Every structure is written in C-alpha cells, then in structure tokens.
A and B are shown apart, each in its own frame.
Chain A
Amino acid sequence: MSEKPKADLIVEKLREIMETSATEELDWSNYGPQSTIESLGLDSLTILDLLYDVEQELGVHLEAIDIVSVGNIGEMASLLIDRGA
C-alpha cells in the first residue's frame, strides 16, 4: 500500500474517532488533513481522550513530545504512520 492511501485511511479513522470524542456537533465532511485540532472544537482534555482512543484503535502509542507538536489532522496522520500505524 502506498503512503498516500494509507494517510487517507488514517485521516478517515481519525475522523471516525473524533466524531465520538468531540463535544460539539460538527459537519465532518468539511474537515480534512489541513484542519487544525483547534478548529475541530477539541479542547485540551478532549485531545487526551482522542489520544487514548487513537492508541486503542490503531495500536500506536504517542509520546508527550509528539502530541504537543501536532498542529493538524494531516500531521497527526503522518506521525501515526511514522510510529507504525
């Protein structure tokens, strides 16, 4: 599988997880890899929730430093691929 489809799959998976983690109703079709974490209405604690879910769903543990530096969904997907997702 090439990198691009894999990234797309992970973005899709992230979107699924975020739909359950987000506290606000959002139209997820408007969001993609460039969407920032903040724009999704995820506050800081919800992000921790999200990371827990990502680890359980994708089997990848992210370190604190990785988490702090993530700016948008695309970066998170790349990070997860780097970590073996």
Chain B
Amino acid sequence: MKSIRHIIEYCLARILLLFVDNLPFGISCLVARGAANLWWAFDPRRRKVARDNILRSGIETDPKRALAMARGATQHMALLIVESLRSHQFLTGERFRDHLEINIKPDVLAALENPDQGLIMASGHFGNWEIAAHFLSRYKPVVGITRRMNNPLMEKLVQSRKSSHRFRPIPKRDSNSARFLEVLENKEILALLFDQHAATHNMSIDFFGHPAATFKTVAMLHLVTRAPLCFGACRRIGPLKFEIFTSHLIQCPPSGNKNEDIRSILNQLTQYLEDAIGQAPDQYVWGHRRWRD
C-alpha cells in the first residue's frame, strides 16, 4: 500500500516537474500559487499557527492582515520550490548576474575566497535558502542538513535535481558535531538554519521579544573551531530576482563565560534574522512552531 502511494507521489511530482521545466516561468508561478492556495484551504491547523505567530511577533497586529500575510508566506514556499527547481537555468555561468544582487560584506567575501578557511553561514527559514546555497557553491562546496524524504523515489528525484551544484546534504539523523567539524576541516561552507525549535541542547533566546528554544550548535562550533561565522540570507526582490546579503563576520572569541558567549552569538544571529524578516515578512515560514510555550 505504502509503495503504491510512493509511486503515485513520484508520478505526480514528475508531472509537476514537466510543467515547471517547460512552462514559462510566470505560468509556473501561477500554478505554484494555485497549489499553495489549495494547501492553505485544506490545512487549517498550519494556517492558525502561522497567523498566531505573526501576531505574536508584533509584525502585524490586525488578525485579518496577519492571516493575509500568512497566506502570502504559504505562496512564498510554493514559489521557493519552483525557483529552486529552475535555479540551474539562471544561476549557471554568468547568467546569475542578471538575477542576483549581491551584498556580501568584504570580510565574509574574503573568507569565501580563502581556500584555507571554512565558513559557518547561519540563516533562518527566510527567503530562498536554496538559491543562496546554489550561489555560495560557486566559492566552495556547501554542506547543509536536509530531512530525508519518507518516499525513496522522491528522495532520489530531489537529489538528482541538486547534483548540478556543489551542495552536499547531511541527513538530519546524521547531523552531529563531528560531521560539522569535518566540513569545516575540509574548508567548506557549513550552512545551518538555526531558527527551529530546539528540544535539547538549547538556550532560550528572545525571538521578536518572546523566548524561543534555540540550538546552541552554531555558536559552539564557532567558539571551538574559530571558523568564521556570519548570518546570510537570500530575499526575493522580483520575479527571478534575488538579493543575497550577509552580515559582517561575527567576532566572539571565547571569554571564559561559555553561556554568555553562546548567548551573545545567538542574540546577534537572531537580531539579523529579525531584521531580514522585517524587510519581507511574507518570505518567512511562519507556519513552523517556533514558540512552544
């Protein structure tokens, strides 16, 4: 029964890919928005979580407008998938210059261009992180955590679409510090999304003024390895147009007070994320349960 479902899912995905690959981009986006609207209509739980999170953040105070923003964020996710699937068409060679506005701080650029240095790029579920990873892989291989799909056919399909650029996934179940250390030792880019609820090894960090359990890993990796660390994100600024931007490198040598060091780093990263979300709140994945109190 399960394998039949997997085959049906795979066939539907292939049909969707056929459309995405061959339809004009604008039409693909319309189809994606339609699919997002369907999803929106049939997932009241996620709808409520997203609306409540927006209200809680204070970015929007009117429930109706918050709901509209949450719907926009759902459409953003659908667009993210279409853009990511098409990225090999517009990010290869020099064509990327027509689609990307690059605002990478000089110290981060120096780290990217230094073959003897790895880099920890921290980000959140904001904008199109797949496009960011694709672009950054021009400098060095990018390694990130991905959740393996339950459907092995779909997993194979997804991986085949990612092979065009130097992105190496670490399955979520293997995402331990030793793997991360190897990435940094190989002078690669370790891309981590730090804004998921952390059930263990967490520190409570205010996210839009409300405590959120935040993973300490990204901060500890920087403190222990001294690998350069920055915040980075990719914001959609038009159809197939994106701004890739970073913070300066975060400088935090170990002070001897471990918890204060971790808090300082996570506070800085969270502030950068909040600033990014403030610029384009409908490009944040509000539907995940960041606050769980």
Give the residue of B177, B254, B256 whose beta carbon is less than 8 angstroms from that of A44: B177
Q: How many A-B residue pairs have CB under 8 A?
A: 52
Q: Across the interface, do A47 and B254 meet the contact criterion of CB distance under 8 Å?
A: no
Q: Across the interface, do B178 and A49 meet the contact criterion of CB distance under 8 Å?
A: no
B184, B185, B216, B227: residue with the most chain A Cβ atoms closer than 10 Å: B185
Given A53-B258, A55-B254, A64-B184, CB of A45 within 8 Å of CB of B223: no
Interface size on A, residues (CB 8 A): 19
Instruction: Specify which chain B residues have a CB less than 8 angstroms from the CB of A63 in the assembled complex.
Output: 185, 225
Instruction: Specify which chain B residues have a CB less than 8 angstroms from the CB of A46 in the assembled complex.
Output: 201
Q: Which residues in window 199-220 of B have CB below 8 A to A?
A: 201, 216-217, 220
Interface size on B, residues (CB 8 A): 20
Instruction: Specify which chain A residues have a CB less than 8 angstroms from the CB of B185 in the assembled complex.
Output: 63-65, 68
How far is A77 from B227 in the complex, measured between Cα atoms in Å? Answer: 24
Check B59 for interface membership: any CB of A closer than 8 A.
no
Q: Across the interface, do B182 and A52 meet the contact criterion of CB distance under 8 Å?
A: no
Q: Across the interface, do B258 and A45 meet the contact criterion of CB distance under 8 Å?
A: no
How far is A56 from B254 in the complex, measured between Cα atoms in Å? Answer: 8
Q: Across the interface, do A52 and B177 meet the contact criterion of CB distance under 8 Å?
A: no
How far is A44 from B164 in the complex, measured between Cα atoms in Å? Answer: 31
Check A9 for interface membership: any CB of B closer than 8 A.
no
Given A49-B220, A52-B220, A55-B254, CB of A64 within 8 Å of CB of B176: no
Q: How far is the CB of B283 from the nearest CB of chain A, in Å? A: 30
Given A43-B176, A49-B258, A52-B258, CB of A68 within 8 Å of CB of B181: yes
Q: How far is the CB of B106 from the nearest CB of chain A, in Å? A: 25
Q: 1/0 per residue B143-181: CB within 8 Å of A?
A: 000000000000000000000000000000000111001
13 A-B contact pairs sorted by A residue (CB < 8 Å): A43-B201, A45-B176, A45-B216, A45-B217, A45-B220, A47-B178, A48-B223, A49-B220, A52-B220, A56-B256, A56-B258, A61-B226, A68-B185
Query: Interface residues, chain A, CB within 8 Å of chain B?
Result: 43-49, 51-53, 55-56, 61-65, 67-68
